[in-house]
Chain A
Amino acid sequence: MEVIKIKGTDDTPTVTLDAANGIFEISGRSLPEDVAAFYNPLIDWLEAYSQSPNAKTIFDFKLAYFNTASSKMILDILMKLEDLQNNGHEVLAKWYYDEDDEDMKEAGEEYADIVDVTFEQIAIQ
Chain B
Amino acid sequence: METTETKDAKGFLEFVYQFYKSMKEHEITLVYEGEITHQLTKAFTSLTESNMAKEEESNSVQKKVFHVMVECLQNISKHADDFAQNETMFSGRGIFLVAKGKDDYSVTTGNAVDNSRIADLKSLLEQINSLDKEGLTELYKKQIKEGRLSDKGGAGLGFIDIKRKTGKNLEYHFLPINSQTSFFLLTSTISRTV
Contact = CB atoms under 8 A, between A and B. Distances in A.
Interface string A94-118: 0000001111000000100110000
Given A100-B59, A114-B144, A114-B145, A65 B67 contact: yes
A6 B66 CA distance: 24
A67 B70 contact: yes
Contact of B153 (A36, A102, A114): A36
Interface residues of A, number: 22
Interface residues of B, number: 28
Interface string A60-100: 00000101110111010000000000000000000000001
Contacts of A100: 59-60
A72 B141 CA distance: 10
A72 B155 contact: yes
Nearest to B149: A72
Contacts, number: 61
Interface in B57-75: 59-60, 63-64, 66-67, 70-71, 74
Given A36-B153, A110-B141, A65 B147 contact: no
Contacts of B137: 110
Nearest to A31: B70
B26 interface: no
B153 A69 contact: yes
A31 B49 CA distance: 15
Interface string B117-143: 000000000000000000001001100
A72 B165 contact: no
A2 interface: no
Contacts of B145: 75, 114
A47 B95 CA distance: 42
Interface of A: 10-11, 31, 33-36, 65, 67-69, 71-73, 75, 100-103, 110, 113-114
